Amino acid sequence: MAEDASYALYSCVGRHISVTLCYGRRMSAPDLNLLVTLDALLAEGSVARAARRLRLSPSAMSRALARLRETTGDPLLVRAGRGLVPTPRAVELRQRVSRVVQEGQAVLRPAEKLNLKQLVRTFTLRTSEGFVENFGPDLIARVGAEAPGVRLHFVQKANKDSAPLRDGSVDLETGVVEQTTAQELRVQALFRDHFMGVVRIGHPLSKGKITPSRYAGGRHIYVSRQGLEKGPIEESLQKLGLKREIVTIVGGFATALALARASDLVATVPERHTGILRAGMHSFFLPISTPEFTVSLLWHPRLDADLAHRWLRGHVRQICAATR
């Protein structure tokens, strides 16, 4: 088991390490075994289960927990009924400790060579609507040319829940990082984007100068997965004493553009996410000030050192940088 191997490796280097201070005195450094033990205890929430995970006896795990309490100055796990619950300090440490242990395992893992021609693997990418249409063809072509045994599985991003990255059902995700994004995730910026107005060819807004009042005077489609009706565009219009009429709310950019293509409705969508979807329509810069936003690539730290995963991340970054 990976946990057993990591514990054994830390056992070799973690005991009885000391450092010499400039005054000639010696101080014992923290036992690195405790990190692996703490990770197992916080992940399992049980002394018995953590002991089984690390192949230790329950009494040995209990002694390790006592040392952890002494070292951290916190009880870490306290009894609640017949079980144990983490203290606030333990909750704070859980993700940090897990990340440190995973990085330590990656450092000590033997170096590998990635044979792309023999690689057989399916990567699941969760993306916002429009990403596949605009960036998918180039990504699929590049991946297929280098690693014919690799398959890309694209799934729609219905919400911002980080659980799929944590549980491994999703390998990579694209999106805008927000305060609700899980802090342990790895994040790398892909590109900046901004909103544009889109109407059918022949629409009144396809001719002449677009002013704030002309834009606000149209009948609009609002895109929101949560069904909300207010965002940065409403805030900008409100500062000018204007308000647009929201005729319908849809859950995705492709739906908004399909409606605008077949009617006199106005869609407001991100430029780079919808380049291909907007083909054959009239696009215009918004006559109001709206903030740009950064679209990023997100993944769980356990895959940070995975060579195949790193290879795929590199291609996603290159394609997003090249596609304008």
CATH number of residue 91's parent domain:
1.10.10.10
Confidence (pLDDT) at 23: 36
Helix (H, G, I), strand (E, B) or coil at 41: helix
pLDDT tens digits along 157-197: 877 788 889 888 999 999 888 877 888 899 999 999 999 99
Exposed/middle/buried for residue 282 (C-beta within 10 Å: 0-12, 13-18, 19+): middle
Of these ranges, 27-31, 157-161, 201-205, the one predicted with the greatest mean pLDDT is 201-205
Tell me if 296 is assigned to some domain: no
- Cα dihedral 14, 15, 19, 20, rounded to 10, equals -160
Tell me if 137 is assigned to some domain: yes
Lookup: tokens for 62: 């209990």
**Confidence class for position 20, pLDDT limits 50, 70, 90:** very low
The residue from 43, 76, 108 where one domain ends is 108
Q: Does one domain contain both 213 and 271? A: yes
97-106, 162-171, 237-246 — which is least confidently predicted?
Answer: 97-106
Percent of the chain clearing pLDDT 70 (strictly above) = 88
Contact 125, 152 (CB under 8 A): yes
Nearest to 258 by CA among 239, 278, 276: 278
Whole-number mean pLDDT of the chain? 85
Q: Which domain holds residue 275?
A: 195-291
Confidence (pLDDT) at 280: 95
Q: Does one domain contain both 126 and 80? A: no
Q: Does one domain contain both 311 and 180? A: yes
pLDDT at 249 over 70: yes
Q: Does one domain contain both 174 and 307? A: yes
Q: What are residue 298's DSSP bridge partners?
A: 173, 187
Q: Indicate which CATH number applies to the domain containing 172.
A: 3.40.190.10
pLDDT at 1 over 60: no
Q: Does one domain contain both 100 and 122? A: no
pLDDT at 10 over 50: no
Confidence (pLDDT) at 228: 66
Helix (H, G, I), strand (E, B) or coil at 83: strand
Q: Does one domain contain both 91 and 137? A: no
Lookup: tokens for 316: 């996603």
Tell me if 226 is assigned to some domain: yes
Residue type, position 25, single letter: R
Tell me if 34 is assigned to some domain: yes
Q: Does one domain contain both 176 and 318? A: yes
Count the domains in the chain: 3
pLDDT at 213 over 80: yes
Q: Does one domain contain both 14 and 38? A: yes
Tell me if 97 is assigned to some domain: yes
Residue type, position 225, single letter: R
Q: Does one domain contain both 11 and 104? A: yes
Lookup: tokens for 215: 């834009």
Q: pTM for this structure?
A: 0.63
What values do phi and psi take at 152, rounded to 5? -105, 125
Tell me if 127 is assigned to some domain: yes
Q: Does one domain contain both 202 and 282? A: yes
Q: Does one domain contain both 81 and 97? A: yes
Strands 121-127 and 150-156: parallel
Mean predicted confidence (pLDDT) in 71-85: 87
Contact 122, 155 (CB under 8 A): no
Residue type, position 255, single letter: T
Contact 288, 237 (CB under 8 A): yes
Tell me if 155 is assigned to some domain: yes
Write down how long the chain is.
Answer: 324
Q: Does one domain contain both 147 and 215? A: no
Confidence (pLDDT) at 111: 59
Confidence (pLDDT) at 313: 96
For residues 182-205, b (16+ Cβ closer than 10 Å) or e, as one string? Answer: eebbbeeebbebebbbbbbeebeb
pLDDT tens digits along 265-313: 999 999 998 988 999 999 999 999 998 999 999 999 989 889 999 999 9
